[in-house]
Amino acid sequence: MQCLHYDKTSLYIEDVALTELANEFGTPLYVYSFKQLVSNFKRFDDAFGDYPHTLCYALKANSNPTILRSLARVGAGADVVSGGELFFALESGIPPEKIVFAGVGKRDIDIEAAIKIGIRGLNVESEMEYEVISDLAERLNRVAPVSLRINPDIDIYGHPYIATGRHGDKFGITGEAALRLINRIKNDDYCDLVGIHAHIGSQITEMAPYEKLAEYMADIARKALQAGHRLEYIDFGGGFGLDYKNAIEVNIDGQGSDDLVVEPQKIISTFINAVKDTEVPLIIEPGRALVANTGVLITEVLYLKQTGKTNIVIVDAGMTELIRPSLYAAHHEIVPLEIRDPGSMVVDVVGPICESSDFFAREREILNVGRGDYLAVLTAGAYGFSLSSTYNARPKSLELMVRGKRVKVIRERQSLDDLWVE
């Protein structure tokens, strides 16, 4: 992680030693870097040059209010998937005309709210959903701005749980269904076709799926334009993958770079080249790429033990704080906050939750650690806290934002009273 470095043997985020934060605030603890967040945003924004565009941050990756406000301030829009996320986006200061609404199961109440608020576009994910949106708009006597979420049947060659653009996945509509809707919406007084959308999956690490997507979307966009629709945007979704395995060099003065696997400039110019003759503005919806490498999860070693041939390190964070390893066998680097011993051991790093799937790493070589040491689970800023739970009656973690030397609590740790709700 670029925001992380070892100064001698201590791990720092920006100018703050993480051990000091763990001592002061306790663990488990999420810590984010403000500078990393803003520089991630700028890198994508700059990649568009002067081509008109909006970066609609996918709130699901991390919807901490301070993170959202920081992104709103630098000009981000929002990709939301629920009435709750729509509320968060508006509360954080993102204007309605920069908000797009996806999701296969939008409730009537959320569709009505989106229409009344005047968001940029509702991504239609089925023909039945289009009919519902049209009926609700008629009842409200408003015109709903709709966009077609296309499922182009493109594989991302990643974990099946985060692939969303293959036929058979629940997301979007086929190209044929899109052509049918392009014709139907022409005669609809209550819906305007304002966009074409796709999001083919997450943690994409190859160029080929983006190249196929660019061609596919350009073709549908042209057909929509030929049919007489005035498209306001072509939305290529998110999915930009990171190199989770190279988050930091674990040595004295080691630095890190869990950078994007494919340079954003390369992806964005592929999108622009495919559609620039249409002059339709572009949207992308990065989630992970904006926040993953801004955050670390700090945890304390509770016990070490051996069962069979397996050495196990038990820490005080678990799948309740970061479920990605359990859910998608995702890799997160794990390093000590203080390098005390250059020797290493091969261990399973597990949490305290009563599930065998509660682990951060299996058969992983890590530096030697003992009871009471702190560990950092790296690249944890996306789909970390936002997927966290209170299973086993565990209050949710505290979250901190570091900016230079400054430290700000950006969400208090939950108390047991917050959980004991009758």
Q: Tell me the catalytic residues.
A: 354
Structure token digits, residue 244: 């989770």
By CB under 6 A, residue 289 contacts ligand PLP: yes
By CB under 6 A, residue 85 contacts ligand PLP: no
Give the shortest CB-95-to-ligand PLP separation in angstroms: 19
Give the shortest CB-138-to-ligand PLP separation in angstroms: 26
Give the shortest CB-324-to-ligand PLP separation in angstroms: 12
Rounded CA-CA distance 262/385 in Å is 25
Query: CA-CA distances (angstroms) from residue 307 to 260, 316, 345, 375?
Result: 38, 19, 15, 22
Task: Please list, residue by residue across 77-110, b when 16 or more beta carbons sit within 10 angstroms of its beta carbon and e when fewer do.
Answer: bbbbbbbebbebbbebebebebbbbbbeebeeeb
By CB under 6 A, residue 258 contacts ligand PLP: no
Contact mark string toward ligand PLP, 10..49, x via CB under 6 A:
----------------------------------------
Give the shortest CB-176-to-ligand PLP separation in angstroms: 21
Residue closest to 185 by CA, chosen among 233, 104, 130: 130
Size of the site for ligand PLP (CB under 6 A): 17
Closer residue to ligand PLP (CB): 138 or 243: 243
By CB under 6 A, residue 147 contacts ligand PLP: no
Type of residue found at 243: D
> Tokens 């803003």 label which residue?
38
By CB under 6 A, residue 202 contacts ligand PLP: yes
Closer residue to ligand PLP (CB): 150 or 350: 150
Give the shortest CB-276-to-ligand PLP separation in angstroms: 23
Give 110-133 as a DSSP string. Answer: HHHHHHHHT-SEEEE-SHHHHHHH
> Tokens 């509702």 label which residue?
122
By CB under 6 A, residue 57 contacts ligand PLP: no
Give the gyration radius of the chain's Cα atoms: 22
By CB under 6 A, residue 102 contacts ligand PLP: yes
Answer positive or negative: Cα dihedral of 16, 17, 19, 23.
Answer: negative
By CB under 6 A, residue 148 contacts ligand PLP: no
Q: How many CB atoms neighbour CB 187 within 10 A?
A: 7
Residue closest to 213 by CA, chosen among 197, 193, 232, 194: 197
For the chain, the 3-state helix, strand and coil shares in percent, each to the nearest 5, are 35, 30, 40
- Which residues within the stretch 160-179 sit at the binding site for ligand PLP (CB under 6 A)? none
By CB under 6 A, residue 58 contacts ligand PLP: yes
Give 75-95 as a DSSP string. Answer: T-EEEE-SHHHHHHHHHTT--
Type of residue found at 181: L
Closer residue to ligand PLP (CB): 260 or 274: 260
Give the shortest CB-49-to-ligand PLP separation in angstroms: 21
Give the shortest CB-108-to-ligand PLP separation in angstroms: 20
Among 85, 110, 188, 285, binds ligand PLP (CB under 6 A): 285
Closer residue to ligand PLP (CB): 148 or 314: 148
Rounded CA-CA distance 330/307 in Å is 24
Closer residue to ligand PLP (CB): 27 or 203: 203
Among 121, 287, 381, 384, binds ligand PLP (CB under 6 A): 287
Q: Is 220 helix (H, G, I), strand (E, B) or coil?
A: helix
- Which residues within the stretch 322-361 sit at the binding site for ligand PLP (CB under 6 A)? none
By CB under 6 A, residue 80 contacts ligand PLP: no
Contact mark string toward ligand PLP, 207..246, x via CB under 6 A:
------------------------------xxxx------
- Which residues within the stretch 354-413 sit at the binding site for ligand PLP (CB under 6 A)? 382
By CB under 6 A, residue 79 contacts ligand PLP: yes
By CB under 6 A, residue 286 contacts ligand PLP: yes
Give the shortest CB-171-to-ligand PLP separation in angstroms: 7
Q: How many CB atoms neighbour CB 128 within 10 A?
A: 9
Rounded to 10 deg, the angle between the 34-47 and 264-275 helix axes is: 30
Answer positive or negative: Cα dihedral of 72, 76, 77, 80.
Answer: negative
Interacting residue ranges for ligand PLP, rule: CB under 6 A:
58, 60-61, 79, 102, 199, 202, 237-240, 285-289, 382
